Amino acid sequence: MQTNGTSGIIKIIVIFFIFLWIVSIIRVAKDISHRTHNVFAQIMCILLVTLLSPLIGLPIYLILRPLHYHKDRIPRREAEALHLLNCYNCHTLNLKDNDYCSNCGEPLKLKCKKCWNKCCYSYSYCNECGSPNFDH
């Protein structure tokens, strides 16, 4: 009975460890895909955790991974300062002069009800007359 009980516990520990291993690999794969577009770096990080086990691989990954998430979206204010517009539909960056998104064709501008000025979709007020009358 004594040996049976011990091997049962070992089995549970092994299963738990394998579970942790798989979860770590999935988490690292997700995390690294948000941090770099470099496929080689992504594969290296996933292999690191897969081959060295999470116990050794995870701490190494945490030290080596890029510190920041890459940004697909630029905050609205920054984008406007760069004379770019974020498409509200697909988040593609477009030139401020564009009336329609170059990726999905959605309109980027709204017409002011008062002065018919074309305003960026993200504006709360017309930049010509200050009117808040937009059909969002």
Q: Report if residue 108 touches Zn ion, rule: CB under 5 A.
A: no
| 114 binds Zn ion, rule: CB under 5 A | yes
Q: Which of residues 20-79 bind Zn ion (CB under 5 A)?
A: none
DSSP string, 52-94: HHHHHHHHHHHHHS-SS---SS--HHHHHHTTEEE-TTT--EE
Nearest-angstrom CA–CA distance, 119 and 91 = 17
Q: Which of 117, 120, 121, 123 binds Zn ion (CB under 5 A)?
A: 117
Rounded distance between C-alpha atoms, residue 78 and residue 97, angstroms? 16
Binder among 14, 103, 125, 132 for Zn ion (CB under 5 A): 103
- Where along the sequence are the contacts to Zn ion (CB under 5 A)? 87, 89-90, 92, 101, 103-104, 106, 112, 114-115, 117, 126, 128-129, 131
